[in-house]
Structure 1
């Protein structure tokens, strides 16, 4: 009986994580986006624009608070390219950015990339004065 209760608990936690992932991906104003900071691997999650920041929330986890808040001020795109086969989902683009806390890469669909670049370009003129 105890094994059945443990199995039911594990199933309930897994179901909640799946529902959380669907809710994050379907929430208004979010885009599915992968993030890589430094030389680590890609982490899947969603991003949303909040004022002058891009908030990134991972799919795996229990919290709904962003794990990364990337400020638009001082953020510059170093390069962009389509992901190679086996490197990520087909049709995704990677954008290498220079941010205040160091370089980071974002991978997203072409439509999301267009929105991201428009968000960066729509910054007030003073937002890029600090960029090196």
Structure 2
């Protein structure tokens, strides 16, 4: 293979990844959301509300399936704060949540945060009952 062929192949892959990220970001019902598990780095992606779950798909990757699903049932918001300068985009908020899998931080715009909190509060009363423990 020549250098030109390799370069062309890399450009095609980059273009496909860009088209995938653009399609994810502009699909109906999607919000731009960053995720950080424990003290790792922020990862950019898109989140969608599907039933009782918030499903997160990273921008970079080949799969269109969610890499992380956060269930509304049992989700506890322990902290929320505005992101510090240099930590992320201006106007974004960080929300620290706990689910059965441990702590996870989400970063989103103020509008998306309002929608996220409304989604949490709109759960039916039985959503927080643990019927297996009875």
TM-score, normalising length: structure 2: 0.94
C-alpha offsets along residues 67-104 of structure 1, whole Å, 9 cap, x if unaligned? 00110000011010100101110000000001110010
Counterparts in 2 of 1:86-97, with a 5 A limit? 86-97=86-97
Distance in 2, Cα, partners of 1:127 & 1:41: 31
Counterparts in 2 of 1:113-128, with a 5 A limit? 113-128=113-128
Which residue of structure 2 aligns with residue 77 of structure 1? Answer: 77
Q: CA deviation at 1:2?
A: 1.3
Secondary structure of 1:97's match? strand
Distance in 1, Cα, partners of 2:43 & 2:72: 21
Secondary structure of 2:24's match? helix
Counterparts in 2 of 1:95-110, with a 5 A limit? 95-110=95-110
Distance in 2, Cα, partners of 1:102 & 1:127: 19
Distance in 2, Cα, partners of 1:16 & 1:30: 20
Which residue of structure 1 aligns with residue 2 of structure 2? Answer: 2
Unaligned runs of 5+ in 2: none
Q: CA deviation at 1:12?
A: 0.1
TM-score, normalising length: structure 1: 0.96
Distance in 1, Cα, partners of 2:96 & 2:128: 17
Which residue of structure 2 aligns with residue 46 of structure 1? Answer: 46
Secondary structure of 1:126's match? helix
Which residue of structure 1 aligns with residue 11 of structure 2? Answer: 11
**Alpha-carbon RMSD:** 0.9
Residues matched between the structures, number: 130
Unaligned runs of 5+ in 1: none
